[in-house]
Amino acid sequence: MKDILFVYNAAGKELAAFQPIEGTVYSIGSGRSSDLTLRGEEVAKAHANVSYVSGTWWIAPAGNAEILVDGSSIVQEPIVGAISAEIGGTALRLLEGGSAPDSAGTATLDALRTDIYERVLKEMNIAGGSGDISDDELEHKALAILRSLLASHPGSAELSPEEMQTVKIEIIQDLLHLGPLEPLLEDDDVTEIMVVDYQRIYSEKRGKIELSERTFKGPEHLLTVIERIVSPLGRRIDESSPLVDARLPDGSRVNAVIPPITPDGACLTIRKFGKNVFNVERLIGYGSMTPHMAAFLEKCVQGRKNIVVSGGTGSGKTSLLNAISLFIDSGERIVTIEDSLELKLQQNHVVRMEARPPNAEGKGEVTIRRLVKNSLRMRPDRIVIGECRGGEALDMLQAMNTGHDGSLTTVHANSPKDAISRLETLVLMAGMDLPLSAIQNQICSAVNVIVQTSRLSDGSRKVVSITEITGLENGEPRLREIFKFAQEGIDAKHDNKVIGKHVPVSRPTFFDYFKRCGLDMDEEWFL
């Protein structure tokens, strides 16, 4: 129909097609109830109104919002032919009828992709699942239908071979895999994927969070992708069980939440599992630590000091734990215990154990604490716990104090002092009704070194402190900082990059003991 109003973004992608119904007002804004939802910090919830009156389209600001048409602020403007509008910093092209003259190819590609997707979906009848056939058979069937439909579709003739291949890949991803998340999962620079709703997918890359151009086709598409993740694991997500933790085949951690817990729609968070093993050389190259700090940690591991890596969420605790675990001798028997498998120990004699959540009936749970207790019967030389987050902290401390020295774990805390307080709280969660003084004695005799990590304001991750616990003094743990990161300022000219350097603070109390044991430490490391 000639009078249909098409709205395109700056890249020529069709965003909306408004029908010419007399007196109808269409809303544009960031609000979820808008007929066209735009993303952007400057876009108001109700920013613009588009109406069709007496055969003419009109655009006007909503409330106190501002709209620029062809560069000028307007109160009300007729849309005759085509106009360029800017709404909250978002450039749009509004066209009465037809396709945008400078983006016909893009419009055709989007229309073809949507049409073919719906046809394949209908023919395969897989909206509710994949049936009893294998994934490979399902993909083969989908490709056969897709090729047949593309060959007969009138819009296919306008596409280049590269565009045809793009359509095939994206449709198969949407139908059978994780849709718009696939390119983000394949990008090694992306460390976290955060789906706020079906229209907003954020990703963390090199410590910075940015909004992706990828979107789901709708709320149902997002829910389908979540079900594809959790179903093969025997997990269930529905109104009666709206929260789920899961793991992708590559080890990436997944958390999904759906309504009614999240009234604005399903929410999905993926912590990606790195393909490459972190080592201290990489961390030194990133500026996370200095060669002297790495050498000190190597001696601590070889000298069987018990080490706790402390830090906030996303600060690089697991990566650091992986890196320093490489210092463990290959002849030792190592037992790793994790809530979700993330550690990548390279030694041959490694036994990995993973906790298991309860099933849909609330049965079958295997906790971290149970695994820690079981590991003591497995004759380990070292125990590595991915993260202490509950009563297992007590069992870990007891293991460290009863012959399993040289063990490693991580905790969530913002400083070495907070790490000790956190361990105290976790031990109390074991329900043993121990006095605080006894708990502090356990911690101070078991834990030797706390390595504090942090994600700084510029997105970089650094070891900000290496601290020794030297005992108790007047009922308080006594800490001795060995190295620290001294922040000197912010470089506003270079993306607010943090300026600072790692500096030695003091020599560890076990310096002379290590030298007598043949673990030479250089005095210059601490000067």
pLDDT at 398: 87
CATH no. of 280-526? 3.40.50.300
330: left (phi over 0), alpha (psi -120 to 50) or beta: alpha
Distances, alpha carbon 42 to alpha carbons 29, 72, 164, 203, 422, in Å: 10, 17, 36, 21, 41
Q: Could you give the residue range(s) of every CATH 2.60.200.20 domain in the chain? A: 5-96
The CA distance from 222 to 266, in Å, is 7
Inter-residue contact 467 to 452 (CB < 8 Å): yes
Q: Cβ distance 172 to 130 under 8 Å?
A: no
CATH class of the structural domain 5-96: mainly beta
DSSP string computed for 12-80:
--EEEEE---TT-EEEEESSTT-SEE---TT--SS-EEEEEETTEEEEEE-TT--EEETTEE-S-EEE-
Contact 229, 254 (CB under 8 A): yes
Residue 345 to residues 47, 348, 433, 507, Cα–Cα distance (Å): 54, 8, 36, 30
Residue 74: which residues within 8 A CB-CB, separation 6 or more?
Answer: 59, 60, 61, 67, 68
Q: How far apart are CA 40 and CA 30, in angstroms?
A: 7
CATH 3.30.450.370 fits 177-275, yes or no: yes
Residues 6+ apart with CB under 8 A from 497: 458, 460, 490, 491
Maximum alpha-carbon separation in the chain: 95
**Structure-token pair, residue 228:** 């594809």
Under a CB-based contact definition with an 8 Å cutoff, are residues 487 and 345 in contact?
no
Burial class (CB in 10 A: 0-12, 13-18, 19+), 475: exposed
Terminal CA-to-CA distance of the chain, rounded, Å?
79
What is the phi/psi pair of residue 217, to 5°?
Answer: -70, -25
- Cβ atoms within 10 Å, residue 186: 8
pLDDT at 167: 67
Residue position matching structure tokens 């070194």 = 449
Query: Mean pLDDT per segment of 10 residues, for the chain of length 527 residues?
Result: 74 80 89 86 91 90 89 88 86 71 46 63 52 59 66 60 68 74 86 90 86 84 86 78 83 88 90 77 92 95 95 89 92 90 88 84 84 91 91 89 88 95 92 88 94 91 96 90 93 85 95 88 89
Q: Give CA–CA dist 62/66, Å, rounded.
A: 8
Smallest CA-to-CA distance from 508 within 464, 470, 462, 453 is with 470
59, 41 contact by CB (below 8 A): no
DSSP 356: B
Asked if residues 370 and 327 have their Cβ atoms less than 8 Å apart, the reply is no
Q: Is the pTM of this model over 0.75?
A: no
| Residue 267 contacts residue 256 (beta carbons within 8 Å) | yes
In the chain, ranges of CATH 3.40.50.300 domains: 280-526
Residue 245, both tokens: 């933790």
Beta strands in 63-182 (DSSP E): 67-69, 72-73, 77-79, 82-87, 90-96
Location of each CATH 3.30.450.370 domain in the chain: 177-275
- Listing DSSP states for 182-223 in one string gives HHHHH-TTEEEEEEEETTEEEEEETTEEEE-S---SSHHHHH
Backbone angles phi, psi at 197, to 5 degrees: -160, -175
